[in-house]
Amino acid sequence: MRQGSGDMGEQGDESDGLFSMGDLAAAASPSDAADGRRFHDEPRARRLLDVTEIYAEPAAADSLRGRQIIARFPEARLIETDSHWRIPHLHGNEGNVERWVRVKRETLVLGERKSFGIRPNGRSADWIAPGLSNGCAMACAYCYVPRRKGFANPITVFTNVERVLGSLGRHIAGVGRKEEPNQCDSHAWVYDIGENGDCSVDDLISDNTADLIRAFRRWPTAKASFATKFVNPDLLRLDPQGRTRIRFSVMPPEDSRLLDIRTSPVPDRLAAAADFLDAGYEVHFNLSPVVIRPGWEQSWADLLRAMDDVLPQRVKDQAAAEIILLTHNEDLHQVNLGWHPRAEDVLWRQDIQQPKRSENGSWNVRYRNATKAQAVDTLSRLIEEQAPWLRVRYAF
Ligand code: SF4
């Protein structure tokens, strides 16, 4: 399968030039925010998400948010479902990637979130918030999000927004001020609001992301944070007032074209950084996942040099980065062999990987300790050489 071919996504439109800008970079200009056009109505957004059917739990369909979403997609067929977790012919790995992509593009699920626990993290964020979605319209070959429902995992939107905001508000009030700075943030408690999806894509569907961003404006001791691989200029309108950190995930474009299916090209993510900063976001970068393959060092050096070239000083002055080395998984490896074996040439490297029990008890595969330590050293040196302004928050 050719990466990015047909309706596989944005990446196939990108030329091989490291920094030839695609349509999305132009779409990210602040002028879009002023002329009333909304990106989620544009053909470029519809290539990613063109909803024709909505599975909904009855309570979710009846809720205000549910009705707003259903009204946004008036052509979509509404199908009642007992549980957003159990829709057998939607979830799972059966079939081929064309089917998964069609499901991701054309299907939404509406449900009510049942759990509202807030977990400590300490790496990317201080806390993991209960998210307002699960699933993603993109299809990165290394993604861990589908581990519970399978690769054909369309976006489930949770409609009981008030309960999630209520649990966040109580937690933030309960923990009080952050007394000691840590690598997550000097002053604010950082809450990751997008653990199981991509908040930029969720904003094409509903105001869930907007509601979270607006809520964090009211919480001076806290900050929202989410990683994204999608440039959505509609987010520029939300006036986060510095209380939301957007983390653009980047990797060498040649890796991204192979692995980041249906995402915005890496040059477009970098091109959007200044617009997001100017719109009131804190802008960080996730150097992730770092995939060790022949020539990876040179490719990362080129990417870091390109970041140094294209990012304006005001972005550099506030930027920080997370380094996240690839975590893979035997089940995902088997799935990928069926539809995208070229990805596995770089993702599955048993000669340098070892099994590791994850926090949730499943067995993953990570680079061996010595390999990983050496890779972190190498990347740290490359940052020092090519982008010394980039503070590394942590490496994992
Ligand atoms: S953008 Fe994130 S959540 Fe979506 S498929 Fe890629 S890694 Fe998974």
Q: What global pTM score does this model have?
A: 0.91
Nearest CA to ligand 1 atom 6: 140
Question: What pLDDT is stored for residue 146 in this prediction?
Answer: 76
**Per-residue three-class SS string for 316-347:** HHHCEEEEEECEECHHHHHHHHHHCHHHHHHH
Nearest CA to ligand 1 atom 7: 143
Phi, psi of 231 (to 5 degrees): -95, 110
Q: 187 CA distance to ligand 1 centroid (A)?
A: 29
Ligand 1 pocket test: which of 229, 259, 286, 288 has the largest number of ligand atoms within 8 Å of its C-beta?
A: 229
The answer to whether residue 372 is domain-embedded is yes
Nearest atom in ligand 1 to 229's CA: 1
The answer to whether residue 1 is domain-embedded is no
Q: 67 CA distance to ligand 1 centroid (A)?
A: 26
Please work out whether the CB of residue 10 comes within 6 Å of at least one atom of ligand 1.
no
Longest CA span, the chain: 56
Please work out whether the CB of residue 138 comes within 6 Å of at least one atom of ligand 1.
yes
- Taking the C-alpha atoms of residue 315 and residue 101, their distance in angstroms, rounded to an integer, is 34
Question: What pLDDT is stored for residue 299 in this prediction?
Answer: 98
**Per-residue three-class SS string for the chain:** CCCCCHHHCCHHHCCCCCCCCCHHHHHCCCHHHHCCCCHHHCHHHHHHCCCCEEEECHHHHHCHHHHHHHHHCCCCEEEECCCCCCCCCCCCCCCCHHHHHHHHHHEEEEECCCCCCCEECCCCCCEECCCCEECCCCCCCCCCHHHCCCCCCCEEEECCHHHHHHHHHHHHHHHCCCCCCCCCCCCCEEEECCCCCCHHHHCCCCCHHHHHHHHHHCCCCEEEEEEECCCCHHHHHCCCCCCEEEEEEECCHHHHHHHCCCCCCHHHHHHHHHHHHHCCCEEEEEEEEECCCCCHHHHHHHHHHHHHHHCCHHHHHHCEEEEEECEECHHHHHHHHHHCHHHHHHHCCCCCEEEEECCCCCEEEEECHHHHHHHHHHHHHHHHHHCCCCEEEEEC
Nearest atom in ligand 1 to 137's CA: 4
Question: What pLDDT is stored for residue 44 in this prediction?
Answer: 84
Ligand 1 pocket test: which of 143, 196, 258, 322 has the largest number of ligand atoms within 8 Å of its C-beta?
A: 143
Please work out whether the CB of residue 332 comes within 6 Å of at least one atom of ligand 1.
no
Question: What pLDDT is stored for residue 36 in this prediction?
Answer: 63
Ligand 1 pocket test: which of 48, 101, 140 has the largest number of ligand atoms within 8 Å of its C-beta?
A: 140
- In the chain, the number of structural domains is 1
Nearest CA to ligand 1 atom 8: 143
Residue 170 contacts by C-beta under 8 Å, 6 or more apart in sequence?
Answer: none
Here the CATH number for the domain that contains residue 91 is 3.80.30.30
The answer to whether residue 306 is domain-embedded is yes
Question: What pLDDT is stored for residue 380 in this prediction?
Answer: 98
Please work out whether the CB of residue 143 comes within 6 Å of at least one atom of ligand 1.
yes
Query: For each of the chain's 396 residues, which pLDDT tens digit applies?
Result: 333 333 444 453 332 222 223 333 333 333 344 456 788 888 889 899 999 999 999 999 999 999 999 999 999 999 999 999 888 778 887 777 788 889 999 999 999 999 999 999 999 999 999 999 999 999 999 998 877 777 788 999 999 999 999 999 999 999 999 999 999 999 999 999 999 999 999 999 999 999 999 999 999 999 999 999 999 999 999 999 999 999 999 999 999 999 999 999 999 999 999 999 999 999 999 999 999 999 999 999 999 999 999 999 999 999 999 999 999 998 889 888 988 999 999 999 999 999 988 776 778 999 999 999 999 999 999 999 999 999 999 999
**Structural domain range at position 15:** 6-395
Please work out whether the CB of residue 145 comes within 6 Å of at least one atom of ligand 1.
yes
Question: What pLDDT is stored for residue 11 in this prediction?
Answer: 53
Question: What pLDDT is stored for residue 22 in this prediction?
Answer: 36
Q: 231 CA distance to ligand 1 centroid (A)?
A: 13
Please work out whether the CB of residue 227 comes within 6 Å of at least one atom of ligand 1.
no
The answer to whether residue 390 is domain-embedded is yes
Question: What pLDDT is stored for residue 318 in this prediction?
Answer: 98
